[in-house]
Amino acid sequence: MSYSQPYDEVNWSKALPILRQAQQISIACSRRHISSRESAKVAVSPDPESLVSFHWDTVPPTSKQRRHAEQFFLRQAPKILYSSSTFLNVPKGKVPEVAFLGRSNVGKSSLLNRLMGKNICHTSRNPGRTKTMNFFAVGGEDEEGSPGRLTVLDMPGYGHKSRTEWGEEIMKYLVGRRQLSRAFVLIDTMHGLKRSDEALLQALRENAISHQVVLSKVDRLLFPNNRKASKQLLGRHAETLQERAGSIGSHLDALDVEGPKALGEILACSTTASLERGHFLGINNLRWSILAATGLHEVRRQPPAVTSTLESLAPKPATGEISF
């Protein structure tokens, strides 16, 4: 239908069902008193990745943007830069950094291995395995010779089997590190927010540190009892995940603390569930969010080599000669 078509010529046989569906959704939302966060994604999208990301302050990435983010992280293998137990001993950096935090055994190291495409972080079923701040170079060498265009930081877990001194050094880094672009706080999808999570989120807000929530181990909700990942199961449990993300988002908004709120974007990820070979659910969404946070989301295009007319006409050295 063109914009110039008169209203009385609208094909109402096609328009009425859409209007009825919109009315039913509106009634359902009003009856359940769903908050704006919880009703943000009522319509079900055919794109599986969009069913595990929830955006209120940002725009979801396109499939092209997700591919770009995947290529950025996988074009070269990540490198271990250094580890430190104290902020004082952390070397100065030249590239943007993102830090990952979470309770002990939230699946942080496993998630980072998927994110960077290599088993580079130590994982363990026993909580408290990560004891130092570990820095990794990602994206390949930059123009200034830095080993990576981005630094990803794996922080020690808090909560069970954590240590007070770890928390003190972590906060020193979060508050004092100029290169830090965003802190990503992992929350277990099944367990939700705990008091230790709230304490960290309040501290981030009080200190005006850019932060965002990521739901880990989402496969346990979407594909329960170790069932194989499928689009059918994803569609069946997507609304439950949506409600859980909306509830967490509303809870974060309600925190009685001064300072900038968490980014209105909650991503859910899995390190085991894959609907497409080699592509784990939600990982590329997270990669794109990291690039957007650090300003690395723009696709770099190499300018064409410019050859002057005189250079193009100059005789080329014969084979075997050395050109100075």
What is the Cα–Cα distance from 292 to 62, expressed in whole angstroms? 13
| HSE value, Cβ hemisphere, 13 Å, CA-based, for 33 | 1
Residue 164 has pLDDT above 60, yes or no: yes
Q: Mean per-residue pLDDT for 50-70? A: 95
**Secondary structure of residue 112 in the 3-state scheme:** helix
pLDDT at 127: 60
What length is written for the chain? Answer: 324
Least confident interval from 34-38, 147-151, 166-170: 34-38
The amino acid occupying position 35 is S
Least confident interval from 27-31, 66-70, 89-93, 94-98: 27-31
pLDDT at 284: 97
Global pTM reads 0.79
pLDDT at 122: 79
List, for residues 180-192, the tens digit of each pLDDT value.
999 999 999 999 9
List, for residues 95-148, the tens digit of each pLDDT value.
999 999 999 889 999 999 999 999 998 776 666 567 799 999 999 988 888 899
List, for residues 213-255, the tens digit of each pLDDT value.
999 999 999 999 989 999 999 999 999 999 999 999 999 999 9
List, for residues 287-308, the tens digit of each pLDDT value.
999 999 999 988 655 444 444 4
Residue 4 has pLDDT above 50, yes or no: no
Q: What are the start-end ranges of the H helices in the chain? A: 12-32, 63-74, 108-116, 164-176, 195-206, 219-222, 231-253, 283-294, 309-313
pLDDT at 123: 75
Structure-token pair, residue 175: 């508050």
What is the Cα–Cα distance from 156 to 290, expressed in whole angstroms? 20
The amino acid occupying position 234 is L
What is the Cα–Cα distance from 22 to 24, expressed in whole angstroms? 5
**Secondary structure of residue 285 in the 3-state scheme:** helix
User: Which residue is listed with tokens 């509106």?
Assistant: 26
pLDDT at 170: 92
What is the Cα–Cα distance from 215 to 161, expressed in whole angstroms? 21
Q: Mean per-residue pLDDT for 31-55? A: 62
Instruction: Tell me which DSSP letter residue 191 carries.
Output: T
List, for residues 82-102, the tens digit of each pLDDT value.
999 999 999 998 999 999 999
The amino acid occupying position 148 is G
Closest CA to 157 of 80, 211, 105: 105
Least confident interval from 21-35, 44-58, 85-99, 165-179: 21-35
List, for residues 191-223, the tens digit of each pLDDT value.
999 999 999 999 999 999 999 999 999 999 999
What is the Cα–Cα distance from 160 to 156, expressed in whole angstroms? 11
What is the Cα–Cα distance from 250 to 138, expressed in whole angstroms? 33
SS3 for 8-67, per residue?
HHCCHHHHHHHHHHHHHHHHHHHHHCCCCCCCCCCCCCCCHHHHHEEECCCCCCCHHHHH
Q: How large is the angle between the packed helices 164-176 and 195-206, nearest 10 degrees?
A: 30
Q: Are strands 133-138 and 150-154 parallel, antiparallel or unpaired?
A: antiparallel
